[in-house]
Structures are given as C-alpha cells and as structure tokens.
C-alpha cells in the first residue's frame, strides 16, 4: 500500500513554554485536496509551521511519502516536494514579479520536464504576466497572493500548502484564487488548504480536518461534513 503523501501523527509543538499542538493528526493522499479548518488560535498555522520545519516539534511524527522528516530543516522538507504559500504571502518586495518566480524555480518531481515554469505560471495568472516587470511590493494584496501561489508552484511541489488562501482579498480576487485551485485539483495537484470560506472549501476539497485547541475534533469527507450541521456551529462559528 502506498504511503500517504503527508502524514502527521501525534504531533506536539509550541512556542517557548506555551504548548499549542496536543497530538495533531492529519493525512493527505496523492492527488487529494484536504482542508484544515478551525477558529483563530486553534493551531492551524502552528501545524503548518511544524510540518514545514519552521517550528521544531516536541513530539510525534511528520512523514512525507513514508519518510519521517520531523525536526529536519525547512530546506530539506521543501526538497521533498512541499511548497508553501504562507500566511501574509511573504513575497520579495524589492524583486520584480518575474524575479520572485525565478528565485524559487526547481523540479521537485525530479523526472522529465517540470510542469511549472515561468510561462505556465504567467498563463495561469494573466495579471502577473501584465505586471512581470513590476516590483513585488507595488502589487495589490490579491496580486501578491497570486505571486505567492505562483512562486510555490515554481518549485513543482508534490504537495501545495496554502495558509489562509484568500484572507483579506477582494471578492473578484477570491473567486480567481478558487478557480485556480480548482484547476490545479483537476490536474491532480495535491493540496492542503487553510481558509475561513467554508462554502468554497466544501466545493473544492475531498476531505476536511477540523482543529480545536491543538488537536483534531472532526475529520471526514464533504458529504459527511454537509450532513453534520453541528460541525460548523460547534467548531467554526466565532
């Protein structure tokens, strides 16, 4: 049986003396889109940071295609095929759009020609093509988010991870981001996504993981989520 693309098992982590994760569990299979949902401060971003090697876990396991990567540095984890679109975007403001994209270019899949190069990303996001010579810092928030997604795709990741995919973006930009993610899913891209737009997540994803106070309180597919109305009321409404 093929190992999951990503498996998080009994993961614990925190900041200094303040624990945040208390045995997180999460899996993403190849070709699957999975959500990580929960109220603010419940451990979603901390989970992503621990998976990506940006925060050292204190226990548990982070397996990528069956290989335990817990505690490895972020660059090693990225080389295993995880591409992150971080909360806050974190593009390079003093580089042009094109330079931002080229800076991360890699072939993580390691076989044949890479799926994502500069031309393919600019075709996916025509706005970026129109602004390819502009500095990243001069872009709107929505354009910066497109650039952050394009930058992650330029690593040709096995798993694309988005932390707050559309937070704070204008409605038309949000629609474009969801359209792009649906296109990526249709091409077989594995995706792990955090966002507060439950209806958009249900339309996109195969499975959903709901987090409360640093551990999973609900997990299931979209049909099960829709059937369990208490999930939103109990764990997602503020």
* CA distance readout (Å), 12 to 38, 58, 70, 96, 225: 17, 5, 11, 38, 26
**Sequence-distant (≥ 6) Cβ neighbours of residue 200 within 8 angstroms:** 166, 174, 178
53-60 contacts, C-beta under 8 A, 24 or more apart: 53/77, 55/13, 55/15, 56/13, 57/11, 57/12, 57/13, 57/21, 58/12, 58/13, 58/14, 58/19, 59/10, 59/11, 59/12, 60/8, 60/9, 60/10, 60/11, 60/12, 60/23, 60/24
List, as one string, the DSSP characters of 171-201: HHHHHHHHHHHHHHHHTT-EEEE--S-HHHH
Q: Which domain holds residue 51?
A: 1-81+163-168+190-238
Structural domain includes residue 174: no
Task: Establish if 126 belongs to a structural domain.
Answer: no
> Would you say residue 91 lies in a domain?
no
238: pLDDT confidence band, cut at 50, 70 and 90? low
Residues 115-131 pLDDT 10s: 899 999 999 999 999 99
Residue 106 lies in a domain: no
139-161: average pLDDT: 95
Nearest partner of 77 among 90, 68, 88, judged by Cα: 68
pLDDT-derived band at 1 (thresholds 50, 70, 90) equals low
The domain that holds 5 is classified in CATH as 3.40.50.300
The per-residue pLDDT for range 17-31, each reduced to its tens digit, is: 899 999 999 999 999
pLDDT of res. 59: 95
pTM for the structure as a whole: 0.94
Q: What is the pLDDT of residues 168-203, one digit of tens each?
A: 999 999 999 999 999 999 999 999 999 999 999 999
Residue 74 has pLDDT above 60, yes or no: yes
* pLDDT value at residue 229: 83
Determine the angle formed by the axes of helices 171-186 and 141-153, rounding to 10 degrees.
10
* 203 located within any domain: yes
* Cβ contact 139:147 at 8 Å: yes
pLDDT more than 70, % of the chain: 97
How many helices (H) does the chain have, and how many strands (E)? 10, 10
* 44 domain residue, yes or no: yes
3-state secondary structure 75-108: HHHHHCCEEEECCCCCCCCCCEHHHHHHHCCCCC
What's the total number of domains in the chain?
A: 1
82 φ, ψ to 5°?
-100, 125
């Amino acid at each position: 049986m093929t190992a999951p693309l990503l498996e998080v098992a009994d993961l614990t982590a925190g900041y200094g003396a303040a624990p945040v994760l208390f045995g997180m569990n999460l899996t993403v299979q190849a070709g699957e889109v999975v959500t990580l949902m929960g109220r603010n401060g419940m451990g979603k971003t901390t989970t992503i940071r621990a998976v990506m090697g940006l925060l050292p876990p204190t226990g548990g396991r982070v397996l990528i295609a069956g290989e335990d990567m817990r505690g490895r540095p972020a660059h090693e984890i990225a080389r295993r095929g995880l591409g992150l679109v971080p909360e806050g975007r974190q593009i390079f403001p003093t580089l042009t759009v094109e330079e931002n994209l080229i800076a991360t270019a890699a072939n993580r899949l390691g076989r044949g020609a890479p799926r994502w190069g500069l031309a393919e990303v600019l075709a996916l996001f025509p706005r970026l093509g129109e602004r390819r010579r502009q500095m990243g810092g001069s872009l709107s928030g929505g354009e910066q988010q497109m650039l952050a997604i394009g930058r992650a795709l330029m690593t040709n990741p096995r798993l694309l991870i988005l932390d707050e995919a559309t937070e704070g973006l204008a409605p038309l930009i949000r629609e474009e981001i969801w359209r792009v993610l649906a296109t990526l899913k249709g091409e077989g891209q594995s995706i792990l996504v955090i966002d507060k737009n439950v209806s958009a997540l249900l339309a996109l994803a195969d499975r959903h993981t709901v987090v409360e106070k640093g551990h999973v309180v609900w997990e299931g597919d979209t049909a099960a989520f829709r059937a369990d109305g208490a999930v939103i009321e109990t764990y997602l409404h503020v």
